[in-house]
């Protein structure tokens, strides 16, 4: 098993006043040649957006974009005709494909919002742009990892154009949990949203991350009041 540890404090940070962004990988003005991606995972941004502020209309293409609100609701509008809010407890997927424009705003006048946005490089180029949004509340399992995204449109949760699986884990008590890699050659980027877990000999606290590959199974020793995101992606594609 190979690992790479990314402490929360070592992420790239850009505080624009209206936006406080932490970048796990090189993004915008943050460039670190040793942190360009983890396999097909190209971006993991931890964004806090001030009240009444947001991202104006901008383009994307040939990228699978996954947005997970952690606190608050995000207003969305795109060139496919989708208008509405991505609510806390939901996940949004946008396959940019041949090209799409969208905007994202915090319409709340007095509360900031916090979200994770992840970009996964697709296994096929120039697909027809696609939008989807679902609640994950019905998928939730206490003290276990539960799937929220896969490559299969008929599977639980969302789907994207890549051999990738996302799982969330919500732990209200100390738990030992195993995660089995879904596809040979994939790795897992472990991102601790809050709390504390141990993988092997590596302790991870809030917003720490650990990339794990060349293994078939990962064992977690997780403490109470912990939430973890697992992003399984191909390491070569």
Q: How do residues 92-147 score in pLDDT, each as one tens digit?
A: 999 999 999 999 999 889 999 999 999 999 999 999 999 999 999 889 999 999 99
Residue 78 has a pLDDT of: 92
**CB–CB of 24/45 below 8 Å?**
yes
C-alpha 49, offset from chain centre: 17
Confirm whether 156 is domain-assigned. Answer: yes
**Rounded Cα distance, 198 and 202, in Å:** 6
Q: Which domain holds residue 207?
A: 138-234
Q: Beta strands of 79-174 (E only): which ranges?
A: 83-86, 90-95, 100-105, 113-120, 130-135, 145-150, 158-159, 165-171
Number of domains present in the structure of the chain:
2
Low-confidence ranges of the chain (pLDDT < 50): none
Three-class SS state of 1: coil
**Rounded Cα distance, 165 and 225, in Å:** 23
Q: The pTM is what? A: 0.97
Residue 143 has a pLDDT of: 96
Quick one: 166 and 213 in the same domain?
yes
Quick one: 158 and 116 in the same domain?
no
Residue 123 has a pLDDT of: 97
Residue 6 has a pLDDT of: 98
Q: Report phi then psi at 89, rounded to 5.
A: 95, 0
Q: Report phi then psi at 60, rounded to 5.
A: -140, 155
Angstrom CA distances, 136 to 14, 141, 146, 157, stand at 30, 10, 9, 7
CA proximity to 204, closest of 187, 180, 221:
221
Residue 156 has a pLDDT of: 87
Residue 189 has a pLDDT of: 98
Domain C-terminal end among 81, 98, 123: 123
Residue 138 has a pLDDT of: 87
Quick one: 118 and 142 in the same domain?
no
Quick one: 100 and 185 in the same domain?
no
Confirm whether 110 is domain-assigned. Answer: yes
Q: Which residues of 176-213 are buried (b: 16+ CB within 10 A; e: fewer)?
A: ebebebeeeebbbbbbbbebbbebeeeebeebbbbbbb
Q: For residue range 52-62, what is the model confidence (pLDDT) as tens digits?
A: 999 999 999 99
Residue 199 has a pLDDT of: 97
**Rounded Cα distance, 204 and 7, in Å:** 8
Residue 237 has a pLDDT of: 76
């Amino acid at each position: 098993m190979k690992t790479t540890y990314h402490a929360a404090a070592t992420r790239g940070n850009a505080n624009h006043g209206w936006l406080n962004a932490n970048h796990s990988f090189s993004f915008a003005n943050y460039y670190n040649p040793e942190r360009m991606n983890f396999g097909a995972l190209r971006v993991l941004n931890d964004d806090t957006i001030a009240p009444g502020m947001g991202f104006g209309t901008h383009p994307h293409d040939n990228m699978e974009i996954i947005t997970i609100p952690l606190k608050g609701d995000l207003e969305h509008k795109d060139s496919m005709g989708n208008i509405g809010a991505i609510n806390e407890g939901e996940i949004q997927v946008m396959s940019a494909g041949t090209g799409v424009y969208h905007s994202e705003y915090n319409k709340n006048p007095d509360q900031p919002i916090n979200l994770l946005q992840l970009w996964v490089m697709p296994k096929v180029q120039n697909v027809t742009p696609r939008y989807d949004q679902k609640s994950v509340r019905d998928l939730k399992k206490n003290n276990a990892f539960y799937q929220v995204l896969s490559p299969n449109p008929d599977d639980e949760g969302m789907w994207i154009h890549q051999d990738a699986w996302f799982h969330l884990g919500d732990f209200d008590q100390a738990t030992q949990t195993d995660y089995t890699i879904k596809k040979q050659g994939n790795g897992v980027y472990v991102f601790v949203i809050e709390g504390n877990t141990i993988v092997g000999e590596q302790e991870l606290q809030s917003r720490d991350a650990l990339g794990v590959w060349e293994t078939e199974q990962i064992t977690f020793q997780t403490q109470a009041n912990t939430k973890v995101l697992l992003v399984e992606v191909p390491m070569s594609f």
